[in-house]
Amino acid sequence: MAHDTYVQDGKLLYSTDLNALNNSGVDGRVVMLLDQDTQTLTVDIQTSGLEPGPMHIQHIHGFADDSDAKSPTIAQDTDGDGFVELAEGLATYGPIQLNLTLNPDNAVHDHGTEGHDHTDEAVFPTVGEDGKLSYREVFTFAADDPNAQAIFDGITPLEAKEIVIHGMTTSANQGVGTEGEVDGTAGFKLVLPVASGELEGIAPAADVLQAIGDLDLNPNEVVDWNAIAAEVTANFEATGQWFI
């Protein structure tokens, strides 16, 4: 795959721009570094527009058969209440595969094998009055832990997966008489999707360097400089200009 060209052996970079769901106004970007050798996933999420106060559940969603997870559209609003609720979105983004929590050592065991679920112990982030989330965690999936290994196998390849962030207040006028979390009761709906994005592998050298910067990593430890130099040379030969 093209996206492993500029990052050293076994390391892959992914990103996605988050799109608002359900008119949440949430915006943001997710960058990930996957180290296949150590089975370590570094996750960086920067968002704005989240509702202050209650926690925002966030996940990697996807399908067990690695078919491509997609962001839902209003076409998934099967109960016609104007909202794509958690269960409605499952049709396009698939089930939860990893809880993106503040306690990753716990999350790497979660949803790993049948009947094994630590959801009650998951700690998800909250945001202050500015509505901004700056999230950075590292998940290590130990190969000798069957649950962790099952989750790692589930979330890879990441380009088939989706990031989904949840949590927004709806009013008593919304979803009256319909199923799902938007059902005419006023209050914060913990599982209502507010943003999603489809992960994509990063290939162009400039985008690789940008992502490394977003992750605050030392490029000398991650980047394949020879491959980047080759791209710069190819750019020059194609255009007469030196650029990354």
Residue numbers of the site for Cu ion (CB under 5 A)? Answer: 59, 164
Nearest distance, CB of residue 78 and Cu ion, angstroms = 18
For the chain, where are the E strands, in sequence order? 11-20, 27-35, 40-48, 58-61, 96-99, 133-140, 162-170, 187-198, 200-201
Q: Which is nearer to Cu ion, 59 or 161 (CB)?
A: 59
Nearest distance, CB of residue 101 and Cu ion, angstroms = 12
Q: Which is nearer to Cu ion, 43 or 164 (CB)?
A: 164
Q: How far apart are CA 219 and CA 111, in angstroms?
A: 33
Nearest distance, CB of residue 231 and Cu ion, angstroms = 36
Nearest residue (beta carbon) to Cu ion: 59
Let me know: does 57 contact 166? Beta carbons within 8 Å: yes
How many CA atoms are closer than 13 Å to the CA of 228, on its beta-carbon side? 18
Q: Which is nearer to Cu ion, 11 or 59 (CB)?
A: 59
Rg (CA), the chain: 19
Nearest distance, CB of residue 38 and Cu ion, angstroms = 26
Q: Which is nearer to Cu ion, 34 or 194 (CB)?
A: 194
